[in-house]
């Protein structure tokens, strides 16, 4: 056994019903006096409640999916004009992504309060979109200094979005098993992440107000993000970043739809990952376990439902092929990537 593993420095507060107190404590620890709050319009009420005890100098609500460069630049200018010395972001992946876009150039510390299972809060990965191309990178400045997890904030997240967001988290786990920096520690986090997500998400579908289900999914999403942050982007994320940036497809739904096709593509040449996933799902195969979960969740099935067309496939393949990691267990070609996208577009049986 030989590997190098890096663990990111970050504080985690996990307590249902304690978000406001947790945020006050974290801002106090970093000594911030002029806080910028980033939250989209739908999360405005939650954000005001969570940040009521803070010295807030700015509420910024221009949150856009995939973080266009011009949106990030306006947020940076607003932070500078307000003299902000810290950011509290309350929301999902797009909100956290915007906070990262500000921190990337300003160095402002971030305290993240997630309201979805996106996991961006636990990574040092940033993403910005310009034109039709999404660029991603890593930088320690964008890693939130702390995360305040409160499952009580999740109960208003609609079931369909909870499913898509939870499967997005599960995709982090799966991709971590064959990403460029995959190692046994990442695999341990990823496997446990799959197990608790597979247990928690059906409980949310059965009862959206189930705190047990929300806590399991939130815990799983954190494990997924930590494993992904260390392992790096595998084939699944490379595909979804191209599709999201180039065709403006919804982030979580795209990940939820593409995942079973990438698993079917790679699993035959990744026996160790297949065995870990099979065990975590408690199924005969990894693919069968994922499909059974997706059926129980009534998960998104076809990219065409979100605006992706078969005529888009050649251009998408052209952008995906150069960024496929050399560590990917199955050799990617223009033909088999086109087949993968065609199946995902139509919602065919992944197997």
pLDDT tens digits, one per residue of 279-321: 999 999 999 999 999 999 999 999 999 999 999 999 999 999 9
Euclidean distance between CA atoms 106 and 2, whole angstroms: 37
Question: What's the pTM value of the predicted model, to 2 decimals?
Answer: 0.91
Cβ contact 347:272 at 8 Å:
no
φ, ψ for residue 179 (rounded to 5)? -70, 170
The secondary structure of residue 192, as a DSSP letter, is H
Residue 243, SS3 per DSSP: helix
Euclidean distance between CA atoms 71 and 199, whole angstroms: 37
Euclidean distance between CA atoms 43 and 344, whole angstroms: 31
Q: How do residues 233-276 score in pLDDT, each as one tens digit?
A: 999 999 999 999 899 999 999 999 999 999 999 999 999 999 99
Q: At what angle do helices 159-176 and 286-297 cross, to 10 degrees?
A: 170
Question: Residue 124: its pLDDT value, please?
Answer: 92
SS (H, E, C) 69-121: HHHHHHHHHHHHHHCCCEEEEEECHHHHHHHHHHHHHHCCCEEEEECCCCCHH
Res. 133 pLDDT band, cuts 50 70 90: confident
Res. 136 pLDDT band, cuts 50 70 90: confident
Residues in Cβ contact with 107 at an 8 Å cutoff, skipping those fewer than 6 apart: 141
Euclidean distance between CA atoms 261 and 343, whole angstroms: 8
Decide: residue 73, CB within 10 A, 0-12 exposed, 13-18 middle, 19+ buried.
Answer: middle
Strand locations in 263-330, DSSP E?
none
Question: Residue 323: its pLDDT value, please?
Answer: 96
Domains of the chain from N-terminus onward: 11-154 (3.40.50.1970), 159-346 (1.20.1090.10)
């Amino acid at each position: 056994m030989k590997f190098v593993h890096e663990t990111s420095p970050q504080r985690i507060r996990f307590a249902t019903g304690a978000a406001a107190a947790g945020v006050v404590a974290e801002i106090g620890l970093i000594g911030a006096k002029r806080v910028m709050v980033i939250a989209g319009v739908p999360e405005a009420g939650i954000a005001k409640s969570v940040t009521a005890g803070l010295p807030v100098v700015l509420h910024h609500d221009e949150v856009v999916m995939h973080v266009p460069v011009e949106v990030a630049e306006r947020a940076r200018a607003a932070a500078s004009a307000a003299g902000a010395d810290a950011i509290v972001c309350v929301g999902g992946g797009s909100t956290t992504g915007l906070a990262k876009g500000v921190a990337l150039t300003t160095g402002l510390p971030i305290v993240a309060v997630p309201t979805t299972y996106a996991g961006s809060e636990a990574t040092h990965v940033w993403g910005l979109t310009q034109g039709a191309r999404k660029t991603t990178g890593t930088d320690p400045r964008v890693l939130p200094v702390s995360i305040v997890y409160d499952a009580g904030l999740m109960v208003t997240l609609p079931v369909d979005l909870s499913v898509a967001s939870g499967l997005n988290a599960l995709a982090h786990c799966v991709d971590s098993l064959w990403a460029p920096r995959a190692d046994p520690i990442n695999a341990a986090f990823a496997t446990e992440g799959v197990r608790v997500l597979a247990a928690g998400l059906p409980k949310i579908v059965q009862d959206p107000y189930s705190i047990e289900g929300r806590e399991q999914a939130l815990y799983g999403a954190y494990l997924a993000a930590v494993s992904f942050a260390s392992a790096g982007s595998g084939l699944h994320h490379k595909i979804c970043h191209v599709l999201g940036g180039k065709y403006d497809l919804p982030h979580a739904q795209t990940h939820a739809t593409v995942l079973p096709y990438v698993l079917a593509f790679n699993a035959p040449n990744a026996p160790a990952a297949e065995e870990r996933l099979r065990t975590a799902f408690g199924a005969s195969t990894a693919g069968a376990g994922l499909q059974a979960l997706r059926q129980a969740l009534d998960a998104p099935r076809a990219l065409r439902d979100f605006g992706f067309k078969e005529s888009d496939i050649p251009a998408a393949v052209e952008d995906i092929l150069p960024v496929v990691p050399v560590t990917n267990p199955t050799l990617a070609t223009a033909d088999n990537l086109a087949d993968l996208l065609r199946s995902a577009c139509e919602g065919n049986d992944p197997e």
